[in-house]
Structure 1
Amino acid sequence: MIDFLLWAAFPYIALTIFIVGHIYRYNKDQFGWSAQSSQFLQNDKMLRWGSILFHVGVIFVFFGHVAGIVVPQTVYPMIGVTEEMYHFGAVWFGGAAGLVMVIGGALLTIRRLESKRVHRKGTRKDLYVLLLIGVVTVIGFTNTAWYTATGGDFDYRDTIGPWFRGILTFRPMPEMVATAPWGFQAHILSAFVLFAVWPFTRLVHVWSLPLEYIRRRYIIYRAANPAKYKRAAQIEMRKGKDVE
């Protein structure tokens, strides 16, 4: 029963909240649908480097999860990727992406805690989200850098991969994760907690990609000449008086 609740019921509850929560948030709070950036409060190096490292790390970590969990293991031999090649990429490239994400998230968290202005204008929810993302990331990075790299015999592609694809296709197999190492289990549970709180935080800005910028024409800004416009206004006023 516990395995069913943890690895079948809870993921569906979290994903349902994720979907319904986004629909509700979009319909009720479109003005709050943003990243709520604190750059205008304090634009410093910690924000710039933290934001760049964190977002770059997130992108590579996301595609790494897609390649390792969503794509079946049988696909890789068909495209010429051997087990050694995949293992090398998962450990070194995945580990590097996780490390970059950890460093970026740490910089953003430290900045929010140390900067009185940012901390005062922020909310507890913002800090909790950063900490939750940190927990998910650190646990996942630990699984990659420690367990997998040290030759652990657990293969998540034979267990967690089929389990996750079963969740997506409504064929849950909780027994596939019940025997997984506790680090992988903790990573899964914390990730689904993050999915559940996602719609009610600033993370919704992920879905607001400015794709229209790709084909939009350049906007040219020119500095105004106050003296020029003042003279033009005076000429218009004189013309109006002459007509009267």
Structure 2
Amino acid sequence: MSLHNFLYGIYPYIALTVFLLGSWLRFDREQYTWKSDSSQLLSKANMRLGSNLFHIGIIAIFFGHAVGLLTPHSVFKALGVSDMAHQMIAIWAGSIFGGMCLVGGAILWLRRIFNRRVSATSRGSDKFILTWLLITLIIGLSTIPVSISHANHNNPGVMIALAEWVQSIIYLHPDPSLLNGVDTIFKVHLFFGMTVFLVFPFTRMVHVWSAPFGYINRPYQIVRSKRFR
């Protein structure tokens, strides 16, 4: 078996299995670690700006990828969205929200690495996952000039191939050959993106699972000052 077939035919299922099973096991066995470990009390400098930009950007990118890659091609056609219009929407949305995420992520990364108080209380996994996400994001942004070049040549073929490959994985009939003609930068981005799912259960990112369910009605955090002790 070639490395290409392994990375884009088997590795996605390894990553998704660890993602789902690992998240469930962590919730079942280590609920005290199921948290975001906020460091705001240690240092508020640029925390809100960086966090807001990062989270808005990454949420928009996630749902943009989900809709763009998982929606069948026929559905876009039925809605009157041409292939080139679809590609231009992806380019503009990726540029805007990717830029927001990159700025916010860079602020958070610099804070976590170079702020002594925050860095001292950070786990290795905290620094690793933020670094990995930023690398994944930078590679993703690097695909935009390539996509623009494809658009200038009126060629949506790579975008369609990527969507068909993702759908082949989801529908359990993986077809790595769909990526044979895809630019290398997209394949590297796919590998880094899949690895995010692989390491997800072992990082603070697991608190994302709680966002749709527990965040709206969560209680306030009570913080007592030392002077009142």
TM-score greater than 0.5 by the shorter chain: yes
5+ residue gaps, structure 1: 222-244
Identical-residue share of aligned pairs (%):
33
List aligned pairs for 1:199-214, cutoff 5 A: 199-209=201-211, 211=213, 214=216
Q: CA RMSD in A?
A: 2.1
One-letter code of the match for 1:182?
Answer: T
The alpha-carbon deviation at position 218 of structure 1 amounts to: 10
1:72–1:157: 8 Å Cα contact kept in structure 2? Answer: no
Matched residues in 1 for 2:215 and 2:135: separation? 34
CA-to-aligned-CA distance 1:80-100 (integer Å, 9 cap, x gap): 223343233211122111111
Does structure 1 residue 70 correspond to structure 2 residue 61? no
1:73–1:157: 8 Å Cα contact kept in structure 2? Answer: no
Report the equivalent of 1:231.
none
One-letter code of the match for 1:187?
Answer: H
Matched residues in 2 for 1:54 and 1:64: separation? 15
Report the equivalent of 1:35.
36
Report the equivalent of 1:24.
25
Report the equivalent of 1:135.
135
One-letter code of the match for 1:41?
Answer: L
2:70–2:163: 8 Å Cα contact kept in structure 1? Answer: yes
One-letter code of the match for 1:189?
Answer: F
5+ residue gaps, structure 2: 223-229
The total of aligned residue pairs comes to 217
Moved more, 6-15 or 73-82: 73-82
Taking structure 1 as the reference length, the TM-score comes to: 0.82
Distance 1:94 1:210, change over 3 A: closer
Matched residues in 2 for 1:184 and 1:210: separation? 30
Distance 1:9 1:97, change over 3 A: same
Distance 1:51 1:16, change over 3 A: same
* SS of structure 2 residue aligned to 1:100: helix
Structure with higher Rg: it is 1
